[in-house]
Chain A
Amino acid sequence: MTTTAVVTGLGVAAPNGLGTEEFWKATLAGESGLGPVTRFDAGGYPSRIAGEVPGYVAEEHIPSRLMPQTDHMTRLALTAAEWALADAGLDSAGLDSAGLPEYGVGVVTSASGGAVEFGQRELENLWSKGKEYVSAYQSFAWFYAVNTGQISIRHKLRGPSGVLLTEQAGGIDALGQARRHIRKGVPAVVSGGVDAALCPWGWVPQIASGLMSTVNDPDRAYLPFSSDAAGYVPGEGGAILVVEDPESAHRRGAARVYGHLAGYAATLDPAPDSGRPPALRRAVENALADAGITPADVDVVLADASGVPDLDRAEAEALTALFGPRGVLVTAPKTMTGRLLAGGAALDVATALLALRDGVVPPTVNVAAPAPDQQLDLVTEAREADLRTALVLARGYGGFNAALVVRRAD
């Protein structure tokens, strides 16, 4: 199968680094961004650790007109998108000179609960002060599609656009959708996902899921694949990627190609009481088939790394069944960021592209070794390796599975 989509620009806002290279440097050094929650008072909740994006001053990145109408989540997304477009040489001057058709650049991002911090504030205004105190911008600022819409409006991107909600699998599903658009002839799509839900309204539903860690030590809270795994830690941020048709990117003289989105698949788990196995393995098989490769061609896996023991075991079993016991390098750099809801898988894809670029596998931190029943070759310190192909996995609450094969640019 011919490759149909390449990544030409990255923009990252992560708990362990604001900006792509800051993030990558911290990630290779094993520097975690997890710590006690500061964005709201989490003192009354059983879970109090999160990954917060450091040093973000919105006014330095967001135009005045957009400040009153955007949530923290959308500001981070707009910032990452601006960086990604600039990285691809498609800032406003670049877009004007690239010769792309007016409806040639789309925007497809992932979302989970929408802009809940903005929404919570306005609902509090409603019940405590009255309807005349609710921001007119609440009409759209909370909405799932708001990151896509604001990116589209700000950069005048009028191509096919949309939003995907598959919880933590969303970052990959958005890129899969971007790839579909490219295959249908769209020259470029701004894609990925950035999320932020560090407020009571974003926090409580996650506690109710029972999957969040209640270990309130940043170094012990999120230990995927470990015997001490106790759930996950949420974080904010994500990545925006510029996805392009390879020929169009070449024609306009794109400065670099990070890699190819070579294969993608998504599956949905059967109902919990059906007795049938989860569908993560099938997602991997289908993504490998879509890329026209076999498990032997995969050099490294960026795991979903739930941190919930049963889900870790299911992922380890799927990987062992496909690659053999300890049959492929596995890593979970998200141990340094927490799980970023709709932003996590997009950040993992950006991470995979940087790993391919530099020939180094970023580490899983705080986990000394996988549990004895999980036969994984887990990378716990940055390791140089000749990497051509990475597999990124993601699972979203409700049974969503997504797999993306990313291949190095040659």
Chain B
Amino acid sequence: MTTTTTTTVTLADLTRMLRESAGEEEGVDLDGDVIDTPFMELGYDSLALLQVIGEIQREYGIEIPDDAVVDAETPGALLALINSGGATAA
């Protein structure tokens, strides 16, 4: 059985994990106002998202639905999905 998680992942957490697991595109400033910038514009393809979502799941012990890779097009959307309980405790 699963329970709703109370985990809160911040934008700073997300950008740190993006850097660690998928690197940072030249010319992109992840510390800037990127909350609504599409991942594609930040230089991250679906595989990079798969990689970072894997890291989030491991670090926070949560499960994020596979569809997040395609459904969450921006950091804001991904964080909303994780923090609103769309993710479940693993």
Contacts and interface: CB of A to CB of B under 8 A. Distances in A.
A135 B24 CA distance: 17
Interface in A45-95: 63-69
A65 B58 contact: no
B23 A63 contact: yes
At the interface, is chain B mostly helix, strand, loop or mixed? helix
B47 A137 contact: yes
A137 B51 contact: yes
A133 B51 contact: no
A129 to B, nearest CB: 9
A63 B23 CA distance: 8
Interface residues of B, number: 15
B26 interface: yes
B43 interface: yes
Contacts, number: 38
Interface string A121-158: 00000000000110111010000000000000000000
Interface in A327-372: none
A135 B26 contact: no
Nearest to B44: A65
Given A133-B58, A136-B54, A68 B22 contact: yes
A68 B21 contact: yes
A65 B25 contact: yes
A113 B48 CA distance: 25
Q: How large is the interface on A (under 10, 10 to 19, 20 to 34, 35 or more residues)?
A: 10 to 19
Contact of B22 (A65, A132, A139): A65
B57 interface: yes
B50 interface: yes
Nearest to B90: A132
A256 B2 CA distance: 66
Contacts of A67: 23
Given A64-B23, A68-B22, A133-B58, 19 more contacts: A63-B23, A63-B26, A65-B23, A65-B25, A65-B26, A65-B43, A68-B21, A68-B23, A68-B51, A69-B23, A69-B47, A132-B54, A132-B57, A132-B58, A136-B47, A136-B50, A136-B54, A137-B47, A137-B51
Interface of B: 19, 21-26, 43, 47-48, 50-51, 54, 57-58
Q: Which A-B residue pairs are the 5 nearest by beta carbons?
A: A64-B23, A65-B23, A136-B50, A136-B51, A64-B24
